[in-house]
Amino acid sequence: MPLTTSSTREIPETGMIPRHIAIIMDGNGRWAKNRFMPRVAGHKRGVETVRTAIKACVERGVEYLTLFAFSSENWRRPADEVTFLMQLFITVLEQEVAKLHENGICFKVIGDLSKFEPNIVEFIRKGETLTAANTRFTLTIAANYGGRWDIMQAIRKMLGQRPELATCFDEKDLMPYFALNYAPEPDLFIRTGGEKRISNFLLWQLAYTELYFTDTLWPDFDDRALNLAIQSYQKRERRFGRTSEQLQIVQPPHEGREIAAKRTA
Ligand code: IPE
Ligand code: IPE
Ligand code: MG
């Protein structure tokens, strides 16, 4: 049964650890350029940061981490960089999937895989099957992913399976068909590298996500940098259209906090 929780309905308590973090890992090329190295050296170094980020999220009790590894627009890059990124993706998959499984991590890939070599797709599907029953933490890699692609493929799939909805359907009908249908919507979105844009990442799912932008380049995004992002998130008041007054905090002694609006949502 897909988990189609809409974060526009559920109000997490202020100060909580985000359940789902989605990251645009940007700045690898500039990191390398700053060191007079080829851009691809930045991508290689970026893989180390991915390992650190996964560990840090697991330790903090984050349940879902979704990483943008390759966008549907990244094919526009020079051919040698695209080839390097594909090769790096395969190498990392081969090295890491078994380790993810040992650590109780569920591994998923979202994106249009039709452009990938069949052997890569097979390897991805095997990894997903191997780790499918792991519940501790879910790592999703967005590869050849685009938010617009996701919305379009969801509509196509839904209509293929339920043609009677062609003239009338609503959000609830569509949600099970999104690539990320197994995860709640991200609570915290992080983009490293200084740009302040979404770059066709999770367009539908980020509707009410808290956004955090940092100038830190992805290879430099360490534990401390992640803490800063989480601390920023913890100070946000998530209102989902309501007023601040509606979210008044009821604090019964010794029983922790409860948000009044949660009960009436
Ligand atoms: C992000 O880093 C990694 C990918 C898009 C694969 P970039 O390669 O975009 O790095 P910058 O933005 O050029 O510094
Ligand atoms: C976004 O980074 C995609 C990934 C991190 C995979 P880009 O560096 O490609 O984004 P734009 O093109 O500058 O917006
Ligand atoms: Mg970039």
Calculate how far, in angstroms, residue 40's C-alpha sits from the geometric centre of ligand 2.
14
Closest CA to 111 of 6, 175, 20, 202: 202
212-216: average pLDDT? 98
Nearest-atom number in ligand 2 for the CA of 77 is 9
- Record: fold of 20-234: Undecaprenyl pyrophosphate synthetase (3.40.1180)
Nearest protein Cα to ligand 2, atom 12: 199
Q: How would you classify the pairing of strands 137-145 and 188-191?
A: unpaired
Closest CA to 191 of 68, 55, 84: 68
User: Does residue 251 surpass a pLDDT of 60?
Assistant: no
Nearest-atom number in ligand 1 for the CA of 27 is 14
Nearest-atom number in ligand 2 for the CA of 218 is 5
Q: What is the CA radius of gyration of the chain?
A: 19
Catalytic residues: 26, 74
Calculate how far, in angstroms, residue 28's C-alpha sits from the geometric centre of ligand 2.
10
Identify the nearest ligand to the CA of 218 by its number: 1
User: Does residue 258 surpass a pLDDT of 60?
Assistant: no
Q: Which of 24, 28, 44, 45 to mutate to test the pocket of ligand 1 (most atoms within 8 A of CB)?
A: 28
Nearest protein Cα to ligand 2, atom 3: 71
Calculate how far, in angstroms, residue 198's C-alpha sits from the geometric centre of ligand 2.
9
Average pLDDT of the chain? 91
Least trusted range by pLDDT, from 72-76, 132-136, 196-200, 251-255: 251-255
Q: What is the pLDDT of residues 10-60, one digit of tens each?
A: 677 778 999 999 999 999 999 999 999 999 999 999 999 999 999 999 999
| pLDDT in the model for residue 265 | 38
Distance CA 79, CA 60 (A): 38
Q: What is the pLDDT of residues 141-169, one digit of tens each?
A: 999 999 999 999 999 999 999 999 999 99
Nearest-atom number in ligand 1 for the CA of 217 is 14
pTM: 0.92
Judge whether 237 and 247 are in contact, CB under 8 Å.
yes
| pLDDT in the model for residue 7 | 55
Token match 């789902």: residue?
Answer: 20
Least trusted range by pLDDT, from 114-118, 147-151, 254-258: 254-258
Q: Which of 23, 24, 25, 26 to mutate to test the pocket of ligand 1 (most atoms within 8 A of CB)?
A: 26
| pLDDT in the model for residue 168 | 97
Nearest protein Cα to ligand 2, atom 11: 199
- Tokens of residue 220, six digits: 């430099």
| pLDDT in the model for residue 249 | 58
Q: What residues does ligand 1 touch, defined as CB less than 6 Å away?
A: 25-30, 70, 74, 85, 193
| pLDDT in the model for residue 247 | 85
Identify the nearest ligand to the CA of 24 by its number: 2
- Tokens of residue 241, six digits: 């259209």
Closest CA to 177 of 199, 194, 159, 154: 154
